[in-house]
Structure 1
Amino acid sequence: MTPFWQQPWFWPAIVVIVGLPVVLLVLTELQSSLQRRGNSLHKVVGLLRNAVIPVIAILILSVQVTAAVDPSRPVVTQVIATVLGFLVIVFVLNGMNVLLFTNARKGSWREKIPSIFVDIARVILVAIGLAVVFRIVWGTDIGGIFTALGVGSFVIALALQTAVGPIVAGLFLLFEQPFRLGDWLDIGGTRGRVVEVNWRSVHIDTGNGILITPIGSLAGSSFTNLSRTGGTYPVSTSVTFTTDDAPAAVVALLQRVASGLPQLAPSTSPSAEPTGGSGYTVSFEVGGPSQEGPALAQFRMWLWYAARRAGLGLDGDTTDDFVTDERRDAALASIAPTLYLASDDVAALRQVVRLERYAAGEVISRPGVVPTAIRFVLSGSVELRVPFGDEQLPATRVEAGDYVGQTSLTREVVQTFQVALTEVAVLVVPVGAIDTIVRSNPQLARDIGAVIDRRHQDVADTIAARAGQLQSGVTSGSASGTAI
């Protein structure tokens, strides 16, 4: 009698009994490690652990069990082998997809290949793989199958030439990749952002709904990719003023407002010109077409406030209900204690002060200029921001009852950006009037000097804190590099 360890089933069974747990344990640790690092391969390893390896073990046991009963290839074993072949195909394709496309570098050929073509290649490879599996496991004549598929595909292609032609043209359009998801297109005067691309159509968000354009139609027509304009996108809009407004003053106002837009592309300057009558055109450049809408909305809002401050009639309207004698007198009364004003002083100031309003986000004053007036904040909030390289660091806030422009008294340049956080109303007191009040009241000079010192200290503290953060970052980076 042959010893059991010399039986043909013994060693395959030992391989399954001992090897399967060990392999599963190793794959479990590998999957956990990849998942912790955020590597997409953990899903592929999970497929290998949970499906491929167990089916291989089942196939080994099935072959050994059925070999003693039926020396020929039993159906059960063939079915298991077919399932294993399919799982191996899925495993290989998923692994290739992760290695080639999921982690593709931006701008590489792998990242540029449309997903539709990847799907087509995947279907073809699955079909070929299944054909090979059926040939090996079941002995199927795959040559006849491919011949039949080829002839059938030719007949179907002739029958559906009109219907399939645009789709094929669209697929070649996607392979060329004249646009991507997120790009802005101009199709026959309709502008929008590409939000979806599939086999049949391109979905474009126009802001007023989704425009669905057949991909074949897009391939057979001209369109403009607004997102590929060399880094900037031109924006232009028309405005009107009254014919009594001096054109030079209007052009300067338009350029000044557009220059302050946060969407303005770096190293570009806005331009404005009269178009005849009361019309003007202003043009500037932004970072991309997605910024056109926000930039125009902010420009129009800021222009309304700036035109009122400049006394110009935007859209032919020269009225301003905000600037009234009653509101001016109320504002003077509110700042009288701060300036130590007597009744005679208040009466004298009525002739020289003025009311102004600023929109949220507007810059009231910029660094490097000597202010010509002190602005007392009546409502709203102003943030003082310190320029630091390309950054603007918030230093402090000026609320209602406080003032900005205090260095007009000492003829010092402003160190900060004065930015309106909300709609801000101010009372503007010219420096000449402040000088007159200070000469008769030294206490006001001391108060303003204290404010100047406090603001200087705020600026110094802000710069020191930011420099400390940068130094800490450099030190940490150096330490990390040394440890590595």
Structure 2
Amino acid sequence: MSDLLDTPWFYWALGVSLGLPVALIVLTEIRNALIRRGSGLAGAVGLVRNFIVPLGALLLLLVKANEVSAEATPVRVIATAFGFMVLILLLSGFNATLFQGAPEGSWRKRIPSIFLDVTRFVVIAIGLALILSYVWGADVGGLFTALGVTSIVLGLALQNAVGQIVSGLLLLFEQPFQLGDWLDTPSARGRVVEVNWRATHIDTGGGGLQIMPNSVLAAASFTNLSRPADAYSISVTSVFGLQDAPDEVCAMLARVAGTLPQVRPDATAKAVAVGGQEYKTTIPLRSPADAGAARATFLRWIWYASRRAELHLDEAEDDFAGPERVADAMRVVATSLRLNPSELAEIAPHIRVTRYGTDETVQVQGEVPARMTFVVGGRIRVVSRREDGSVVVVGTLESGDFLGQTTLTREPVLAGAHALDETTVLQIERDQLEALVMRKPALLHEIGRAIEERRETTRRVLAAVDSAQ
């Protein structure tokens, strides 16, 4: 027994036989805990448990316990596998520690994948060189010299391709743009969706992908529309008649631009006269991706808004409210308000027939209306915006229905409204309504009943949404 205790291999064998199971159990528990936490290090710990620890134990048994020479081929093969697994562990641990789960906006999240590929290549090259040198005794210096000469020859033969790769590396190192940024280049305008060793891929938004070589992009002058953040705007130029007051035109343009759904929150649209009957409207947007939709919607809405404001967009006259159309609209009002012919003739000179475009705002929630609006043709959607920003549909108005019931009571409306399609409306100003109800008290009672019905409908819809949640 004393002879056994005096032999060096006994303690190595005993240590491996006891330490290996304990290490495997501990590593298993650590890995399970990391998996429950969703940590990216679980894979690295699993690699240590499944490969590195068993291979290390096998090396100790061969070299220390069995006293097999380190120059033996089986030992070198196992040592090579052990070193290769350590190399993989370094790569996976480096990736999990620095880049997996990196916060949005941090340098770790923004770093291009091409730099990670270069770093992995360098680490693998150094690791393999160390394995060949220490395990197999290879002349690494001579190998690297041969590789260097080969690289020079390949570089001269592929200088154009290598030039593009170097240009891409320099471009990405400088980081003038990131994935998702919008670029305006001499040959393309769109969003960056991919950057690789050779080229940058730009989604032009028209169903096509512009492939631009990095060498071309590095040598060209381009505009990053996404930087600085929250600073992208578009400018739209429009022409009005000489008889239109510039302040009225600017106010109308700014008001319409401010209601666009693409406008950046907490930003203000501005309109200025630039001379020669031209006006420039600056519209701040959330993203360059909204530019096309915002421009199209703005041009469509100011066509309707300019006619409601009796302004002359493109110096055009509006002859929409002809006698026949006004007569049809008056019949709708007479039915809704139960007016006799004499009462109808009395307010006829003071009514106004106009139009709203699709999705255009007809009534703003929380504002006090200055007029009653009757739907003559088309549809209007009534919605209520809640405190959490969600929108609840209260109902849909069609021909004969009306908005602005609180015009006489001067109370804020509980819901907003927008046109579902091109909608023709008839509007009566507050002073004309006041004069009308003074002569017809029953009308005031009818309007009051409509106010209560609309309030009850809004409360009922909101209560149903709350109960459903």
Q: Secondary structure at the match of 2:90?
A: helix
Letter aligned with residue 168 of structure 1:
V
Partner in structure 2 of residue 123 of structure 1: 121
Partner in structure 1 of residue 237 of structure 2: 238
Question: CA contact under 8 A between 1:78 and 1:137: conserved in structure 2?
Answer: yes
Question: CA contact under 8 A between 1:101 and 1:110: conserved in structure 2?
Answer: yes
Q: How has the CA–CA distance of structure 1 residues 256 and 109 changed in structure 2, closer, same or farther, with 3 Å as cutoff?
A: closer
Q: How has the CA–CA distance of structure 1 residues 366 and 146 changed in structure 2, closer, same or farther, with 3 Å as cutoff?
A: same
Partner in structure 2 of residue 271 of structure 1: 271
State the Cα RMSD in Å.
4.0
Letter aligned with residue 194 of structure 2:
E
Question: CA contact under 8 A between 2:190 and 2:205: conserved in structure 1?
Answer: yes
Question: CA contact under 8 A between 1:366 and 1:416: conserved in structure 2?
Answer: no
Question: CA contact under 8 A between 2:362 and 2:419: conserved in structure 1?
Answer: no
Distance in 2, matches of 1:188 and 1:175, equals 22
Q: CA deviation at 1:99?
A: 1.2
- The more displaced of 310-319 and 96-105 is 310-319
**Unmatched segments (≥5 aa) in structure 1:** 469-484
Q: How has the CA–CA distance of structure 1 residues 11 and 280 changed in structure 2, closer, same or farther, with 3 Å as cutoff?
A: same
Matches within 5 A, 1:408-423: 408-410=407-409, 412-415=410-413, 418-420=416-418, 422-423=420-421
**Unmatched segments (≥5 aa) in structure 2:** none
Q: How has the CA–CA distance of structure 1 residues 355 and 139 changed in structure 2, closer, same or farther, with 3 Å as cutoff?
A: same
Partner in structure 2 of residue 214 of structure 1: 213
Question: CA contact under 8 A between 2:382 and 2:395: conserved in structure 1?
Answer: yes
- The more displaced of 8-17 and 285-294 is 8-17
Partner in structure 2 of residue 44 of structure 1: 44
Q: CA deviation at 1:213?
A: 1.5
Q: CA deviation at 1:444?
A: 2.7
Letter aligned with residue 35 of structure 1:
I
Distance in 2, matches of 1:56 and 1:327, equals 93
Distance in 2, matches of 1:100 and 1:191, equals 33
Distance in 2, matches of 1:370 and 1:72, equals 91
Q: Secondary structure at the match of 1:138?
A: coil
Matches within 5 A, 1:358-377: 358-366=356-364, 370-377=368-375
1:80 and 2:78 are equivalent in the alignment: yes
Q: Secondary structure at the match of 1:227?
A: coil
Distance in 2, matches of 1:96 and 1:230, equals 31
Letter aligned with residue 376 of structure 1:
F
Partner in structure 1 of residue 296 of structure 2: 297
1:188 and 2:225 are equivalent in the alignment: no
Distance in 2, matches of 1:463 and 1:241, equals 43
Q: CA deviation at 1:192?
A: 1.8
Q: CA deviation at 1:126?
A: 0.6
Matches within 5 A, 1:385-396: 385=384, 396=394
Identity %: 42
Partner in structure 2 of residue 175 of structure 1: 173
Letter aligned with residue 226 of structure 2:
S
Q: How has the CA–CA distance of structure 1 residues 296 and 21 changed in structure 2, closer, same or farther, with 3 Å as cutoff?
A: farther
Q: CA deviation at 1:446?
A: 2.4
Question: CA contact under 8 A between 1:180 and 1:194: conserved in structure 2?
Answer: yes
Question: CA contact under 8 A between 2:267 and 2:284: conserved in structure 1?
Answer: no
Partner in structure 1 of residue 30 of structure 2: 30
Distance in 2, matches of 1:370 and 1:462, equals 22
Q: CA deviation at 1:212?
A: 1.6
Among candidates 131, 134, 142, match of residue 132 of structure 2: 134
Distance in 2, matches of 1:183 and 1:230, equals 10
Letter aligned with residue 212 of structure 1:
I
Q: CA deviation at 1:17?
A: 6.0
Letter aligned with residue 84 of structure 1:
F
Q: CA deviation at 1:185?
A: 1.7
Question: CA contact under 8 A between 2:368 and 2:413: conserved in structure 1?
Answer: no
Q: Secondary structure at the match of 1:77?
A: helix
Matches within 5 A, 1:279-294: 279-294=278-293
Q: CA deviation at 1:187?
A: 1.7
Partner in structure 2 of residue 205 of structure 1: 203
Q: CA deviation at 1:197?
A: 0.7
Distance in 1, matches of 2:60 and 2:319, equals 90
Q: How has the CA–CA distance of structure 1 residues 35 and 71 changed in structure 2, closer, same or farther, with 3 Å as cutoff?
A: closer
Among candidates 102, 111, 114, match of residue 112 of structure 2: 114
Question: CA contact under 8 A between 2:404 and 2:413: conserved in structure 1?
Answer: no
Q: Secondary structure at the match of 2:83?
A: helix
Q: How has the CA–CA distance of structure 1 residues 62 and 315 changed in structure 2, closer, same or farther, with 3 Å as cutoff?
A: farther
Q: CA deviation at 1:288?
A: 3.8
Q: How has the CA–CA distance of structure 1 residues 463 and 122 changed in structure 2, closer, same or farther, with 3 Å as cutoff?
A: same
Q: Secondary structure at the match of 1:232?
A: coil
Q: CA deviation at 1:181?
A: 0.9
Q: Secondary structure at the match of 2:87?
A: helix
Distance in 1, matches of 2:282 and 2:107, equals 37
Question: CA contact under 8 A between 1:251 and 1:274: conserved in structure 2?
Answer: no
Distance in 2, matches of 1:241 and 1:250, equals 8
Question: CA contact under 8 A between 1:254 and 1:272: conserved in structure 2?
Answer: no
Letter aligned with residue 258 of structure 2:
S
Q: How has the CA–CA distance of structure 1 residues 397 and 14 changed in structure 2, closer, same or farther, with 3 Å as cutoff?
A: farther
Q: Secondary structure at the match of 2:46?
A: helix
Distance in 1, matches of 2:107 and 2:255, equals 45
Q: CA deviation at 1:449?
A: 2.6
Q: How has the CA–CA distance of structure 1 residues 56 and 72 changed in structure 2, closer, same or farther, with 3 Å as cutoff?
A: closer
Q: How has the CA–CA distance of structure 1 residues 34 and 300 changed in structure 2, closer, same or farther, with 3 Å as cutoff?
A: farther
Q: How has the CA–CA distance of structure 1 residues 4 and 441 changed in structure 2, closer, same or farther, with 3 Å as cutoff?
A: farther
Q: Secondary structure at the match of 2:99?
A: helix
Deviation digits for residues 259-311 of structure 1 (CA, Å, limit 9, x no counterpart)? 3223334343411325526x543233323423322321221221222134234
Q: Secondary structure at the match of 2:220?
A: coil
TM-score normalized by the length of structure 1: 0.79
- The more displaced of 448-457 and 436-445 is 448-457
